[in-house]
Amino acid sequence: MRPSPPRPRHSRPRPRPRPRSARALLGALFTALTALAALVTVAPAAQADTTLCEPFGTTTVQGRYVVQNNRWGSSGTQCVTATNTGFRVTQADGSVPTNGAPKSYPSVFDGCHYTNCSPGTNLPARISGISSAPSSITYTYVGNAVYNASYDIWLDPTPRTDGVNRTEIMIWFNKVGPIQPIGSQVGTASVAGRSWQVWQGSNGTNDVLSFVAPAAIGSWSFDVMDFVRATVSRGLAQDSWYLTSVQAGFEPWQNGAGLAVESFSSAVRTGGAGPDVPGNPGQPVACEVAYATNVWQGGFTAEVTVANTGASAVDDWRLGFALPAGQRVTSAWNASLSGSSGAVAASGLGHNARIASGSSQTFGFQGTYSGTFAKPGGFTLNGSTCTVR
């Protein structure tokens, strides 16, 4: 079904003062037409968010991912509104028993789901040929509902783009209410640097392996392949199988209005790039970095601008650098930072994960230092050395 068209925004023009003469009228008209022409030339057209209320309605966000309403377990109305970087649940009527399946899975995805493939995706991809699959998300939660916030990752022996896959991996970032994953808990595991409860079972058509966080995670950047490899090690998939989609959203049982994915990014890197280089594999990057600081006794802020001086866009950029001894990051904005001292890597978020050719992205962080303050000696963008200005 087609998604609802965007609703245009309307504004009422201001009344103009009445001119006192024909000459004044002509002058005023000329001025108004000139201003109108400038406005039409300069101002971009406003674009409203798209709201989906059809059970399986979809739309595209960021030009790269598909947002889906995906209501299948209840007759109650559910609506999601796609935003520039994700979606929010704006209506969530109805409820289902908490000892059964959820009523829906409103979500955003990279890959292919029931013949619907996201723009430009390289999925399905053979697991053995994937070096890394970096993804990041920021959730907004509500308290007056029963739901989980979860990734849904699908694997199959064939590169299928339709129907149900053989194995489903779920990553529960949050759980509210008396609900549990399919099957039973079979142990605990450390995956991607975090501890998880591990549940295993089957829903009758596919195997399900679930990783449940012991406490809510609101925002995280991680490598999806860490969970895929953990699934292969448990015998629920093989390296010759295919990763077909990476999805993120919510499974609500009761209510759910207000839940939101504020930002989402996903990439699947095949070929020569290693797991620490989630950039364009095998392609050198041309880049330039500006590092501006404000320093006071014992503390500093840094504003970092990363410019792509090459001919191709850089997707899912990752800027690596080493903080001098005695420096430590305490907070950051407009990027996700891994590491707080020594070797540090900054990655783009959902809204700024791409650096177009000739463009740049800027992020910043605050930190502390001891001794004499110094700037990092060099920077690498997705493994390629950048010039510093």
Nearest to 87 by CA among 323, 247, 311, 270: 247
Which two tokens mark 291? Answer: 């590092």
Total count of residues recorded for the chain:
389
Residues with Cβ within 8 Å of residue 3, at least 6 apart in sequence: 50, 52, 54, 57, 58, 59
Q: Is 303 among the residues known to form the active site?
A: no
Instruction: Report if pTM > 0.95.
Output: no
Q: If we measure between CA atoms, which residue out of 318, 311, 296 comes closest to residue 363?
A: 318
- Amino acid letter, 342: G
Q: Which two tokens stand for residue 347?
A: 């990655």
For the stretch 59-96, what's the b/e string if a residue is b when 16 or more beta carbons lie within 10 angstroms of its beta carbon?
A: bebbebbbbbbbbebbeeebbbbbbebbbbbbebebbb
- Backbone dihedral angles phi then psi of residue 327, each to the nearest 5 degrees: -100, 145
Q: Which of the following is catalytic: 54, 168, 262, 288?
A: 168
Is 251 noted as a catalytic residue in this protein?
yes
As a whole number of angstroms, the longest Cα–Cα distance in the chain is: 87
pLDDT value, residue 318: 84
Our CA dihedral for 350, 315, 174, 82, rounded to 10 degrees, sits at: 40
Residue 302 and residue 365: Cα distance in Å, rounded? 6
Residue 145 gets which letter from DSSP? S
pLDDT of residue 382: 80
Domains and CATH numbers, the chain: 50-270 (2.60.120.180), 287-388 (2.60.40.290)
Q: Prior bond to 281 cis, omega within 30?
A: no
Give, for all 389 residues of the chain, the pLDDT tens digit.
333 333 333 333 333 333 344 444 445 444 444 444 444 433 333 345 899 999 999 999 988 899 999 999 999 999 999 999 999 999 999 999 999 999 999 999 999 999 899 988 889 999 998 989 999 999 999 999 999 999 999 999 999 898 899 999 999 999 999 999 999 999 999 999 899 999 999 988 899 999 999 999 999 999 999 999 999 999 999 999 999 999 999 999 999 999 999 999 999 987 643 333 334 444 568 999 999 999 999 999 999 999 999 998 998 888 888 888 899 999 999 998 877 887 788 888 878 989 999 999 999 999 999 999 999 988 888 878 899 98
| pLDDT given at position 18 | 35
DSSP 3-state assignment of 288? strand
Q: Of 251, 262, 288, 303, which residue is the catalytic one?
A: 251
pLDDT given at position 320 = 85
